[in-house]
Amino acid sequence: MNAPTLAELTAQGKSPEILFWVGCAGSFDDRAKRVTKAFVKILNAVGTNFAVLGTEESCTGDPARRAGNEFLFQMQAMTNIQVLNGYQVKKIVTACPHCFNTLKNEYPELGGTYEVIHHSTFLQQLINEGKIKLTEEGSFKERKSPITTRAIWVGPIIFMKLRVKCYRLWMPTSLK
Amino acid sequence: MLQALDADLVEMKRCRTTGLCCGAGGAQMFKEPEKGNKDINVERAEEALSTGAKTIAVACPFCMTMMTDGVKSKEKEAEVTVKDLAELIAESIK
């Protein structure tokens, strides 16, 4: 598994086309780490020119802001924006909708404007472009009974409601 | 994407604009729940299990934790798995 850091690539004079923002769960939670590995496996398989920040990545500040600590949020956000702008990052993919929301919708007003996409959108793009070739041996194809192949989709509600409700609820009045 | 995997896809009754949160969005993952009869992730997991699906697909690490805990509280973890979209694709990639 190959996941170069942005620092390594920059030292070699290379600049990746996309940054994979791993996030706290993807870095530290044992279950979510397996998702990170699965996503990196896909990135390697399709030959995406990507990098991670590694130890230079910090919390986006989303939990702090949602809990009402605007000062801590801005401190964490500014640190990240300085790192991202320093590497001249243009495009970011993340496997976490919370990081996605903060990077996409809340960093621009602090000077961090990037093209941010969620990994679900990114994977759909890869399928549409024909870059992902699926085998016949997937977890659904090998089980043919209609009941056992059922899957349900639990979409993160954050996509739909966070911007509308929580944002207004928890933002300091001065920033509403 | 799930259709590309040839999955028999079902939605839960409360979905899209009337979707119910897994509970992590209300910080139930980080603190003790508010007073009430039932944890929200258990409520949501019961709904997921009632569809008869064998895989619960998620796209968020926090939904993953909440749904997995909910499934375990119903002691169904042997029959029902909770997986991220990236894992489902990675399993089937050539």
The minimal CB distance from A42 to the residues B2, B16, B89 is found for: B89
State the best of A30, A122, A152, A166 to mutate against chain B, taking most chain B CBs within 10 Å.
Answer: A152
Q: What pLDDT is attached to residue A133?
A: 86
ipTM of the complex: 0.92
For chain B, give the percent of residues with pLDDT over 70: 100
pLDDT, tens digit, 9 for 90 and up, residues A95-149: 999 999 999 999 999 999 999 999 999 999 999 999 998 887 666 755 544 444 5
As a whole number, mean pLDDT of residues A151-174 equals 56
pLDDT > 90 in chain A, percent = 74
Q: According to the model, what pLDDT value does residue A1 have? A: 85
Three-class DSSP category at B77: coil
Restricting to B residues 2-41, those with a Cβ less than 8 Å away from any Cβ of A are 2, 4-12, 15-17, 19-22, 25, 27
Higher pLDDT, B86 or B31: B86
Q: How far is CA B54 from CA A63, B51, B82, B89, in A?
A: 32, 9, 9, 16
Residues A105, A110, A112, A113: is their CA dihedral positive or negative? positive
Model pLDDT for residues B2-46, shown as the tens digit of each residue: 888 888 889 999 998 999 999 998 888 888 888 999 999 999 999
Q: Kindly report which listed range (A66-70, B15-19, B45-49, B55-59) carries the lowest average pLDDT score.
A: B15-19
Q: Alpha-carbon torsion A141, B78, A157, B50, what sign?
A: positive
Rounded to an integer, the average pLDDT of A44-48 is: 95
Which chain B residue lies closest to A64 (C-alpha atoms)?
Answer: B27
CA distances from A3 to A39, A81, A121, A123 (A): 11, 21, 21, 18
Question: What pLDDT is recorded for position A104?
Answer: 97
pLDDT at residue A173 tops 90: no
**How much is the average pLDDT of A16-41?**
97
Q: Which one, of A14, A9, A2, lies nearest residue A43 by Cα? A: A2
- Write out chain B residues lying below 8 Å of A95, CB-based: 59, 61, 84, 86
Q: Report the pLDDT value the prediction gives residue A154, as an integer from 0 to 100.
A: 73
Tell me which chain A residue has its CA closest to the CA of residue B58: A154
8 Å CB contact between B29 and A120: no
Task: Catalogue all structural domains in chain A, each as residue range(s) with its CATH number.
Answer: 6-134 (3.40.50.1860)
Yes or no, beta carbons of A154 and B12 under 8 Å apart: yes
pLDDT of residue A152: 74
Q: Reply yes or no on whether the pLDDT at A166 is more than 90.
A: no
Kindly list the residues from chain B whose CB atom is less than 8 angstroms away from the CB atom of residue A118. 59
> What is the C-alpha to C-alpha distance for residues A132 and A45, in angstroms, rounded to an integer?
8
Q: Which residues does chain B have within 8 Å of residue A25's beta carbon, measured at their own beta carbons?
A: 61-62, 64-65
**β A115-118/B8-10 pair status:** unpaired
pLDDT at residue B3 in the model: 86
Residue with the bigger pLDDT between A51 and A171: it is A51
Tell me, yes or no, if B93 comes closer than 8 A to chain A by beta carbon. yes
Percent of chain A with pLDDT over 70: 80
For CA atoms A48, A53, A59, A61, the dihedral sign is: negative
Q: Would you state the structure tokens that stand for residue B68, as one six-digit string?
A: 């997995």
Question: Residue A48's pLDDT is what?
Answer: 95
Domain range list for chain B: 16-29+37-92
Buried b (16+ CB within 10 A) or exposed e, A64-81: bbbeeebeebeebbeebb
